[in-house]
């Protein structure tokens, strides 16, 4: 904890801050510079720096240690590899997770599984419970959809990732999925995160629509603190003032997270852009930036998809992209 006093802060103000730091259990080191007095607090309890920033005579206050512990890179400097059967997420190979936004019917998922497996991807995605902005939009097939997805995945040697929307769905989802996805809208559903901490299956945690990287890592901390160490983070675009794309795909979040945390990080260029014609460029960028995987939407007939068709690639587009991604991965010392 570091508190920088304002120029001309009085001795009484400085003493007041020191007293408060001591109360919070900090060992205080005072350094008097030409202009500013800086108070360094070592040890002590975690607290909100803004509580100090509003005190008289204080210019700024900062945490020295990160507010998340288990998610921090220091906790596991070598990085985490999430291993599911032979698939390693966080290893050298960039893992491809692809499939439709929503599970729609048996034939659609069978075709998707064929496309995904034939391209060399390892994981099929598809939502059975859909978090739609409008209550009148298609809400997903539920358990019937999960059955279809699991069958198609097993027939093609693929793993399954699908979104869990609330804690009551967890037992059902565990029966069908290899990875449980927490959607952007649920990144700060702390009750759900706590329950997922008790689960012993990997969780793919998407960044919230307006979440900072620190908030993403604190949400991961909830799951880790519950004892589930298999968390995969996902950049899926954030809301900004820009309207040319559905979201602003924050490519820089990938190297930032890789530096701050030991957890694997994947990129979702589909939700990240909302536009099929922009998806390949952002998928390439994500791998170049160090992503451990790509999660993206693919459908045999995207124009007729029941959700997110505009950001979904068809088979030829996906095949072409996979070829490009192999080249990008090689250029950065990895494989796809």
Give residues in contact with Mn ion (CB under 5 A). 101, 308
Q: Could you say which of 101, 117, 121, 141 contacts ligand PEP (CB under 6 A)?
A: 101
If contact means CB under 5 to 8 A according to the sort of partner, which of ligand PEP, Mn ion, none does residue 131 touch?
Answer: ligand PEP
In angstroms, what is the minimal distance from the CB of 51 to ligand PEP?
33
Q: Give the count of residues interacting with ligand PEP (CB under 6 A).
A: 9
Please state the closest distance from residue 272 (CB atom) to ligand PEP, in A: 9
Q: 258 is in the binding site of which of ligand PEP, Mn ion, none (Cβ under 5 to 8 A by kind)?
A: none
Q: Is 280 in the site for ligand PEP (CB under 6 A)?
A: no
Is 241 exposed, middle or buried, given 0-12, 13-18 or 19+ CB atoms closer than 10 A? exposed
Comparing C-alpha atoms, which of 222, 199, 232 is closest to residue 90? Answer: 232
Phi, psi of 120 (to 5 degrees): 95, 5
- Name 284's Cβ contacts closer than 8 Å, sequence gap at least 6: 324, 325, 328
Footprint (CB under 6 A) of ligand PEP, residues 16-75: none
67's contact among Mn ion, ligand PEP, none, with CB below 5 to 8 A by partner kind, is: none
* Sequence-separated (6 or more) residues with CB below 8 Å from residue 32: none
Q: Under the criterion CB under 6 A, does residue 309 sit at the interface with ligand PEP? A: no
Distance in Å, CB of 327 to ligand PEP, minimum: 26
Name which of 41 and 183 has its Cβ closer to ligand PEP.
Answer: 183
Closest separation in Å from C-beta 1 to ligand PEP: 35
The least CB distance from residue 182 to ligand PEP, in Å, is 8
Please give the residues from 221 up to 240 whose contact with ligand PEP meets the rule CB under 6 A: 236
Tell me the three state secondary structure of residue 146: helix
Residue list 177-216, contact with ligand PEP (CB under 6 A): 183-185, 206
Burial class of residue 194 in the structure, from the number of CB atoms within 10 Å of its CB (0-12 exposed, 13-18 middle, 19+ buried) = middle
Q: Which is nearer to Mn ion, 99 or 197 (CB)?
A: 99
Report the nearest approach of ligand PEP to the CB of residue 183 (Å).
3
Alpha-carbon distance 130 to 135, whole Å? 10
Q: Which is nearer to ligand PEP, 101 or 123 (CB)?
A: 101
**Closest to 187 measured CA to CA, from 161, 215, 160:** 215
Nearest-5° Cα angle at 55, 49 to 56: 145
Residues comprising the chain, all counted: 336
Across the strands, what pairs with 96?
A: 294
The answer to whether 216 and 257 are in contact (CB under 8 A) is yes
Instruction: Tell me which of Mn ion, ligand PEP, none is bound by residue 224, counting a contact when its beta carbon lies within the kind-specific cut-off of 5 to 8 angstroms.
Output: none
Per CB under 6 A, contacts with ligand PEP among 249-278 are 271
Spatial CA neighbour of 80 closest among 251, 238, 223, 283: 223
Question: Least separation, in Å, of the C-beta of 271 and Mn ion?
Answer: 6
Positions in the binding site for ligand PEP (CB under 6 A): 101, 127, 131, 183-185, 206, 236, 271
């Amino acid at each position: 904890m570091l508190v920088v006093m304002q120029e001309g802060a009085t001795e009484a103000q400085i003493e007041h801050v020191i007293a408060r730091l001591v109360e919070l259990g900090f060992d205080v080191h005072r350094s008097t510079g030409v202009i500013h007095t800086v108070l360094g607090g070592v040890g002590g309890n975690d607290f909100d720096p803004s509580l100090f920033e509003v005190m008289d005579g204080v210019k700024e206050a900062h945490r020295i240690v990160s507010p998340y512990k288990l998610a921090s890179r220091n906790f596991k400097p070598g990085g985490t590899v999430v291993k599911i059967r032979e698939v390693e997420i966080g290893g050298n190979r960039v893992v491809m997770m692809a499939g439709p936004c929503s599970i729609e019917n048996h034939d659609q998922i069978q075709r998707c599984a064929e496309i995904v497996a034939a391209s060399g991807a390892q994981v099929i995605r598809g939502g059975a419970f859909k978090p739609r902005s409008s209550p009148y939009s298609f809400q997903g097939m539920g358990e019937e959809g999960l059955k279809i997805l699991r069958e198609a995945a097993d027939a093609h040697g693929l793993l399954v990732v699908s979104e869990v929307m609330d804690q009551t769905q967890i037992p059902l989802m565990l029966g069908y999925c290899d990875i449980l996805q927490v959607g952007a809208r649920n990144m700060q559903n702390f009750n759900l995160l706590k329950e997922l901490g008790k689960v012993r299956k990997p969780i793919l945690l998407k960044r919230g629509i307006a979440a900072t990287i620190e908030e993403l890592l604190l949400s991961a901390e909830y799951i880790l603190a519950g004892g589930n160490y298999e968390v995969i983070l996902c950049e899926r675009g954030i809301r900004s003032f820009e309207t040319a794309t559905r979201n602003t795909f924050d490519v820089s979040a990938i190297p930032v997270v890789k530096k701050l945390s030991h957890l694997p990080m994947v990129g979702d260029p589909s939700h990240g852009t909302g536009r099929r014609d922009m998806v390949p460029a952002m998928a390439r960028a994500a791998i170049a930036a160090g992503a451990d995987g790509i999660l993206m939407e693919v459908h045999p007939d995207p124009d007729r998809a029941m959700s997110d068709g505009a950001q979904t690639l068809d088979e030829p587009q996906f095949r072409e992209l996979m070829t490009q991604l192999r080249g990008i991965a090689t250029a950065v010392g990895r494989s796809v």
